[in-house]
Structure 1
């Protein structure tokens, strides 16, 4: 899959494509329906299937720390899109200049002149351009003049509700991993590079591999039974996602205690699937209480995987 970073990197050889546009946060089953339409059009027109997405996501740009929790980092999003068969992704830097672009200019200059979009597939609630003035009707109107076919994919429904990133966030926040999995089509996961932590887990007798969640607001919090992929191996474990309140932490962190695993994995990429929520994060008055609770969490996670 080809990745184009920024409008300035769209070249003449990228002219002529079928396109869909959106955040694709989570690349859930609702998104998959949109992408099915894209792939059908790509095959019919013998043109590359292309997805346009944004970094940061628009709500993150406008609302900053008040933006909804992101489900998927860019790296994971690209991997999921590639697995679905998408040939090309255009990642637009969402900055003030782009936010000020009028909807008509976006369609004329980017979609028609730069990309030569032959067919465009968008969700039924798609809005774009300065102050979200662009909508489906505008795309259809301008598309007719440029021989660009515009179609809307009907909202995908499952569990008697529309599949959306918002509903998945709500399920994750409630600890309902099974409902989130049904809507995502896969286990919810967090990925990133293993960093050096405070080494407190080692002192307590439970070494952890840590992933910083950086600026993103995490949609989950608490202690989970997990399955991690690291150094080419799949390993079970127990993870804490939160701010380490017992140590008065302020930085969101994913800490994973891997069962029967002692390799040095600092700097390596780790993929962590959340399988079952065990409890909420809690502040303990003493390290003895914390250590006892961790031992209980380890036992519960091992029981979840049939390891006891």
Structure 2
């Protein structure tokens, strides 16, 4: 998949694509249906399949002081787009210039003049342009007037409830990583760099890789069965997210214990894939009681992961 940053000075070879547009946070099943339709249209019209995303997320641009829970950072998002078979990804900088464009200006300057789109695919709830003045109806009219096709996708639902990024965030906040995986189409991941910790895990016989959680992340505190990816390898393990109430009840930290692994991961970039929830966080009366429970947690996590 080829990645193009911005809509200006786009080479002729990358123009005229079937283009899915959105934020695609999570790249959940609803997003995947939209992407699949984009690829189908591209094949039918013998044009490239493409996606446009905005960076940073518009909410981060308009509310810079607030922590926003991004399900998928750009690197992960692009990896998923490539995995889903898209040929092009346009990463559009969301800045003051773009935010000032009306819906009509966005279509004429970005989509038509910039990308020369052949077909646009958007969701039923896609709003764009200054003060969200653009909507699917405007896109359809513009397509008729300016000569590109438009497909507006209906909500994709499960048991009557539409898949949504907010639904995934709610599930994760409750520790329901299996429910989130169902909505996403695969387990949710956190990406981060391993940092030094207090070495408590090592002193108890469970050395951990400590990973700072991305800003705004809301995940239920507790123990999880996880699969960790780094250096092209995957390792099963158990992860703890919480405030360590048995010790200092401090800032939440993600601590990952890898099964049957010996090595130094400090400074390494890893991805932690959350497979299942084991138990909620709680305070123990002694270190010995905590260690006893940790052994049970690890055994349960092994059983869960062996069945996956």
> Per the alignment, do residues 300 and 215 of structure 1 end up closer, same or farther by CA in structure 2, a change over 3 Å counting?
same
Which aligned pairs between 1:2-41 and structure 2 lie closer than 5 A? 2-8=2-8, 10-41=10-41
> Per the alignment, do residues 202 and 8 of structure 1 end up closer, same or farther by CA in structure 2, a change over 3 Å counting?
farther
Kept in 2, the 8 Å contact 1:231–1:265? The answer is: no
State the distance in 1 between where 2:151 and 2:196 align: 48
Kept in 1, the 8 Å contact 2:68–2:216? The answer is: no
> Per the alignment, do residues 291 and 94 of structure 1 end up closer, same or farther by CA in structure 2, a change over 3 Å counting?
farther
Report the Cα offset of residue 179 of structure 1: 2.2
State the distance in 1 between where 2:118 and 2:304 align: 50
Q: Which runs of 5+ in 2 are unaligned?
A: none
Q: Which residue of 2 aligns with 1:249?
A: 250
> With structure 1 as the length reference, what TM-score do the two structures score?
0.89
Report the Cα offset of residue 229 of structure 1: 2.5
Report the Cα offset of residue 177 of structure 1: 2.6
Q: Which residue of 1 aligns with 2:91?
A: 91
State the distance in 2 between where 1:159 and 1:256 align: 34
> Per the alignment, do residues 155 and 92 of structure 1 end up closer, same or farther by CA in structure 2, a change over 3 Å counting?
same
Report the Cα offset of residue 230 of structure 1: 3.0
Q: Which residue of 2 aligns with 1:138?
A: 138
State the distance in 1 between where 2:66 and 2:282 align: 23
Kept in 2, the 8 Å contact 1:238–1:301? The answer is: yes
> Per the alignment, do residues 242 and 183 of structure 1 end up closer, same or farther by CA in structure 2, a change over 3 Å counting?
same
Q: Any idea what the Cα deviations from partners look like across 1:230-286, whole Å, max 9, x if unmatched?
A: 334332211012454543433x54220011101223333323221221223345576
Give the superposed CA RMSD. Answer: 2.4
State the distance in 1 between where 2:110 and 2:10 align: 9
> With structure 2 as the length reference, what TM-score do the two structures score?
0.89
Q: Which residue of 2 aligns with 1:272?
A: 272
State the distance in 1 between where 2:256 and 2:41 align: 43
Report the Cα offset of residue 2 of structure 1: 0.8
Q: Which residue of 2 aligns with 1:128?
A: 128
> Per the alignment, do residues 23 and 219 of structure 1 end up closer, same or farther by CA in structure 2, a change over 3 Å counting?
farther
State the distance in 1 between where 2:205 and 2:65 align: 35
Confirm whether residue 199 of structure 1 aligns to residue 199 of structure 2.
yes
Provide the secondary structure at the position in 1 that maps to 2:254. strand
Provide the secondary structure at the position in 1 that maps to 2:63. helix
Confirm whether residue 60 of structure 1 aligns to residue 60 of structure 2.
yes
Kept in 2, the 8 Å contact 1:27–1:77? The answer is: yes
> Per the alignment, do residues 219 and 141 of structure 1 end up closer, same or farther by CA in structure 2, a change over 3 Å counting?
farther
Q: Which runs of 5+ in 1 are unaligned?
A: none
State the distance in 1 between where 2:60 and 2:283 align: 29
User: Relative to structure 2, which stretch is displaced further, 238-247 or 175-184?
Assistant: 238-247
State the distance in 2 between where 1:221 and 1:52 align: 34
State the distance in 1 between where 2:76 and 2:198 align: 27
Provide the secondary structure at the position in 2 that maps to 1:274. strand
Q: Which residue of 2 aligns with 1:263?
A: 263
